[in-house]
Amino acid sequence: MTVVVPQTTPAPKPTAIFMPPTSTAPAPTPTAGTAESSNYNSGSAGSGSGSGAGGAGGGDDDGRFPQPKLRLEIRDLDHPGTAKFLDAVNAGTVVSAAVSNVQRLLYRSPGDPHTTVPPTRSVTLILRDMGGVAYTTGTDLDDDHKEIHFSLGYINGINPPARLAAEITGVLTHELVHCYQWNALGTCPGGLIEGIADWVRLSCDLSPPHWKRETTGGMQSFTILKSTLSIQYDPIISTLIFSGWDNGYQHTAYFLDYLEGRFGKGTVRKLNEKLRRHRYEPKPFWTELLGRPVEQLWGDYVESLAGEQSTVDEGTQT
């Protein structure tokens, strides 16, 4: 990994502060998804650990995914977040392992005809003082070269210190997904883009302690409604109450994890591959992929959570 340390701290370009919104216009050729994550809701308490699979490898000839050129750029050596980052992780090892994890979870193998890896050629991790947490973008050269901008202020604020390595690894894993996922020719909902990224983080055992398998408040509403009106679960009612399958981040990640468990390993891979080949239109997308609309799938997920909650409640009362 090449370490680039500018002699002075350059003023960030306007495009480095705010990412453009996801375009709804069709792209001339499929490109890997680029998503902003400056509002990334990562935890900074508790503990977590990654699976640490993979490593730098060769190309298709030896059965391993091609590895991108990895670079590190530190724009403020005096920032306290810089020292914490360098003390907590070996950047080369962490980023390389995270790339391998992302490739392993989203794609079968380099030569497999059912999944197609984007031609990401390089990833530059830029540590700088900025608001938010992190975001990923293509470089001015072309979109095959990616930049991950990571906030030194956020790194400096991670508590307790024992969470530093796990949280840094989790955020980097999330952002690296944006270097390797497809975006339905620019039409994929942002919530699904972010949900896939957090599903990979979840699958690497890097979820922060505050993440919960919940429907963003809907479960409590359903419990109250069920007890006051003496109603049974109904998918139509659940759709009205529990809107938000595409709220993104961990909420969508747990929904995708449910689909992966229900329809089999590789379901999210198939979803990602479908985002490579087609523009996103909700009804045909989900019906062709899993045989039913997403509203029904979300209702089934909510019902499964309600059943789990009922089991917990019954166990508490006995």
Q: How confident is the model over 90-99, as pLDDT tens digits?
A: 999 999 999 9
CA distance 234 to 89: 48
Q: Is 264 left (phi over 0), alpha (psi -120 to 50) or beta?
A: left
**21 pLDDT above the threshold of 50:** no
Q: Average pLDDT, whole number, for the chain?
A: 78
Specify the pLDDT at position 24: 36
Would you give the DSSP letter of residue 256? H
CA distance 163 to 276: 35
pLDDT band at 244 (very low <50, low <70, confident <90, very high): confident
- Domain positions in the chain are 29-183, 218-317
pLDDT band at 17 (very low <50, low <70, confident <90, very high): very low
Query: Which residues neighbour 18 within 8 Å (Cβ) at sequence distance 6 or greater?
Result: 36, 38
**288 pLDDT above the threshold of 60:** yes
| Residue carrying the six token digits 């505050």 | 210
Specify the pLDDT at position 146: 97
Q: Which residues does residue 202 pair with via DSSP β-bridges, in sequence order?
A: none
Q: How far is CA 13 from CA 129, 139, 202, 283, in A?
A: 13, 12, 32, 39
Q: How far is CA 221 from CA 210, 229, 241, in A?
A: 21, 12, 7
Specify the pLDDT at position 25: 38
pLDDT band at 226 (very low <50, low <70, confident <90, very high): very low
Specify the pLDDT at position 139: 87
Q: Are strands 122-128 and 69-74 parallel, antiparallel or unpaired?
A: parallel
Specify the pLDDT at position 310: 53
CA distance 8 to 112: 46
Tokens of 56: 């730098």
CA distance 95 to 138: 17
Rounded to two decimals, the pTM is 0.75
Q: Which residues does residue 2 pair with via DSSP β-bridges, in sequence order?
A: 71
